[in-house]
Structure 1
Amino acid sequence: MSKQLQYNKAESEEVGYVLNVLSRVHAVDAKLKEEFENHLLRLSIKKDQILFNENEVCEYIYFIVKGALMGCTTHNKQKITTYISVENDFVSSISGLHGSGYSQEYVVAVEDTHLLAMRNDELNRLFSHHFELNYIFRVVLEKYYKDAQQRAHIIRVGNAKERYLYFAKTNPGYLDRLPLALVASLLNVKASTLLSIKKNFSEKDKNKELEEWGQKLELHINKHQSFRHKDVRLQSLAKEIGLSSHKLSIVLNSYFNKSFIDYINQYRVNWIKGSIRNPDIMQNFTLEALAYSAGFSSRSAFYSSFKKLVGMSPVEYSKTLNKEKL
């Protein structure tokens, strides 16, 4: 119950924070700032703690500094999630806005949540004396109702996939942050269905990211010929392209299906194969000289890698090319 909540005077930096949010909509004058400094309150509630109940007059309007709240109602003994609000959202009773009547929904914390609050009687008094506050809250309410209308529309006409995409687009990051059952209730889909869709899109996103980083790696290798550096290492290459060593390892293993050394040696062998095909190069360089220039540190490593990747030794490959020319 809200009567059990502990309200305290807001700290000056908290007042400044909420005033900064309001000022993004409309400039706030000095008198209104003073009113907020005198009447803004702070409170914290734990996860699953109720902020206010159904059939109770909500005496405050709240501003979420940190955390998440959900609005719920019950129908035929079933809980229905009506909205989810997180940082920088204003929250109050929808049906009993500004303390005008009993609330038809209850609000509960999804996470440990820190709030700022102002009593509705104080807020209503400020509405009578400060035009800018009326304008600010008109903009806030317009946004809320537009969002609510869009959500109601997609829930009425959209299939489960479309509802998922709507929520992912309008609430980036929330799908990983909030309980899946809660989001499913808000979107009016089964939790199992939402989980299946989420897994499918997560896999697509993962594959897309792997492709993007794989292409970036290829461009970097071709441009800088990093494979020709004898001291090239997974860690150094990852740093060059802006990836962690762990992520680069995943890209190599999952996207290219190669270990780091096989990936680098493939480039070295391909470079040597191209050089062998050039008569001018072969007149001036031995196979061993090409191997060292390509980045191999020893003759044995060169011969072993070449045979592994080409299926024959470099000498045999060179002879095969000579026969083709005859």
Structure 2
Amino acid sequence: MPTKLYTKADPKDIDKVIQLLNGIYPVSDNFRNALNKHFMALELKKGATLIKEGETCQYMYFIIRGALMGQTTHKKKKIVTYISVANEFVSSISGMHGMAPTKEGIIAIEPTSLIAFPNEVILQLFEQQFDLNYAFRMLVQQYYQDAQERSHIIRVGNAKERYQYFLQTKPGYIDQIPLEHIASLLDMQPKTLEKIRKQHADLLKKDEETERICRLLEEQLTRHKRYEEKNISLSSLAKSIQISSHKLSSLLNNHYQQSFVDFINSYRVKSIREQLAQPRQEQPFTIEALAYNAGFSSRSAFYSAFRKLVGVSPAEYAQQMRP
């Protein structure tokens, strides 16, 4: 294997690590100086092997850009054991600190920029720097919590839950990392992953379409005050936002959990309540007149809708609003 070319790490990249560690425990000047002195930089091409199975890992790595995966072999089958991305630490799990040969290889999934800190220096600093011991303990604790969650979801979660887990823990990487690697990590076939990914994309499009229609509805009812139209109908409102009556009815039932009548009346009642909340001297109309102006065509329909939506009669609500 070609010798890896380590170079002096960029101070800006070192600052990223220091900021991360500072978020766990304040980094002392001595520790900061050790990081600046010993951190080295390494660039890997896509598919390059950082560590082979059976080798000894001499460094703790921090990913500046790109992504790495742990990979082990079982019965001649390559299995992805983890995927680490930018702003995460990575090293041999089975041979941490170079104390034993690693059981998993570490491979660059895409062009990857790393900074590396020698394990021998880490072990020396463990004896000298409390902040390193504390920070490392917290990092290891977080790693094992993440590993426990990953193993649990892969063991008991269904394929969709495993896919959602990856989206949550590695946001933005579903389009960057080859699907066969993600499928291996999530213990499913690539075809299954592709199918779930398409279903998820279709669902997002459906959600986006729902949001778009809801915005158009909101505009019709708040800006244009369509609820004031006494003869407003499902079909006329649907036509104004250029969807079918069936689609609007389905949206109201499933998204708002309301019938068309209750949906329109909710806007009418809201308008009336806002006016009843004003000082009495600023209310030139009777309650019945407010109801008529808001779109109700009959007194009985207004009183019934108001009590259904508010829980009290219009008169009782007006009384509650008075100081």
Q: TM-score, normalised by structure 1?
A: 0.67
- C-alpha distance in 1 between matches for 2:97 and 2:58: 7
Structure 1 moving runs of 4+ over 3 Å: 221-226, 254-257
Amino acid at match of 1:7: Y
Q: Is the 8 A contact 1:48 1:111 kept in 2?
A: yes
Is the CA contact (8 Å cut-off) linking 1:45 and 1:114 kept in structure 2? yes
Q: Is the 8 A contact 1:211 1:255 kept in 2?
A: no
Q: Does 1:166 align with 2:165?
A: yes
CA distance in 2, matches of 1:67, 1:162: 25
Distance 2:243 2:67 in 1: 41
2:157 is aligned with what amino acid?
G
- Partners in 1 of 2:200 and 2:36 — Cα distance? 46
> Aligned with 1:25: secondary structure?
coil
User: Conserved in 2, the CA contact under 8 Å of 1:210 and 1:255?
Assistant: no
% same residue? 43
Structure 1 residue 256 corresponds to structure 2 residue 243 = yes
Tell me the equivalent position of 1:53: 52
Q: In the superposition, relative to structure 1, how do residues 180 and 255 fare at CA in structure 2: closer, same or farther (>3 Å)?
A: farther
The alpha carbon displacement at 1:162 in A equals 2.2
Name the counterpart of 1:132: 131
Give 1:55-204 correspondences, 5 Å limit.
55-204=54-203
- Residue-pair matches, total: 232
Cα separation, partners in 2 of 1:255 and 1:129, compared to 1, 3 Å: farther
Alpha-carbon distance, 1:224 to partner = 3.5
Q: CA deviation at 1:94?
A: 0.5
Q: Does 1:208 align with 2:207?
A: yes
How far apart, CA to CA, are the structure 2 residues paired with 1:224 and 1:61? Answer: 59
Q: How far does the alpha carbon of each residue in 1:13-41 deviate from its partner, in whole angstroms, 9 at most, with x for none?
A: 22212111110100001111111111111
**Secondary structure, in 3 states, of the residue corresponding to 2:175?**
helix
Which runs of 5 or more residues in structure 2 are unaligned?
226-238, 245-323
Q: CA deviation at 1:139?
A: 0.7
Q: Is the CA contact (8 Å cut-off) linking 2:18 and 2:27 kept in structure 1?
A: yes
Shift of 1:153: 1.4
* 2:282 matched residue in structure 1: none
Task: Please state how far the C-alpha of 1:221 moved relative to its aligned partner.
Answer: 4.3
Alpha carbons of structure 1 residues 14 and 219: separation in structure 2 relative to 1, 3 Å: same
Compared with structure 1, are the counterparts of its residues 152 and 255 closer, same or farther at alpha carbon in structure 2 (3 Å cutoff)? farther
Determine which structure has the larger helix proportion and give its number: 1
Kept in 2: contact 1:55–1:104 (CA 8 A): yes
Structure-to-structure mapping, 1:5-44, within 5 angstroms: 5-44=4-43
Contact 1:181 1:191 in 2 (8 A): yes
Instruction: Report the 3-state secondary structure (helix = DSSP H, G, I; strand = E; otherwise coil) of the residue aligned with 1:175.
Output: coil
Q: Who is 1:281 aligned against?
A: none
SS in 2 for 1:129: coil
| Structure 1 counterpart of 2:201, one-letter code | S
Tell me the distance in 2 between the aligned counterparts of 1:10 and 1:58: 19
Q: Letter of the aligned partner of 1:117 in structure 2?
A: A
CA root-mean-square deviation: 2.2
Verify the 8 A CA contact 2:85 2:170 in the aligned structure 1: no
Which residue is 2:300 aligned to? none
| Closer, same or farther: CA 123–214 of 1 in aligned 2, 3 Å | same
**Are residues 93 and 223 of structure 1, via their aligned partners in 2, closer, same or farther at CA, if it must alter by over 3 Å?**
same
CA distance in 1, matches of 2:242, 2:66: 37
How far is 1:223 from its partner? 3.5
- 1:223 equivalent to 2:237? Answer no
Q: Distance between the aligned counterparts of 2:136 and 2:27, measured in 1?
A: 12
CA distance in 2, matches of 1:174, 1:86: 8
Instruction: Tell me the distance in 1 between the aligned counterparts of 2:209 and 2:134.
Output: 47
Does the 8 Å CA contact 1:214/1:255 hold for their aligned counterparts?
no
Tell me the equivalent position of 2:3. Answer: 4
1:213-254 deviation per Cα after TM superposition (whole angstroms, max 9, x unaligned): 22113323443449xxxxxxxxxxxxxxxxxxxxxxxxx9x9
In structure 2, what residue type is equivalent to 1:132? Answer: D
Counterparts of 1:238-249 in structure 2 under 5 Å? none
In structure 2, distance between residues paired with 1:255 and 1:77: 57
Unaligned runs of 5+ in 1: 227-251, 258-326
Secondary structure in 1 matching 2:149: helix
Deviation at 1:166, TM superposition (A): 2.1
What SS does the aligned partner of 1:176 have? coil
Q: 2:67, 2:85 within 8 Å by CA — same for their partners in 1?
A: yes
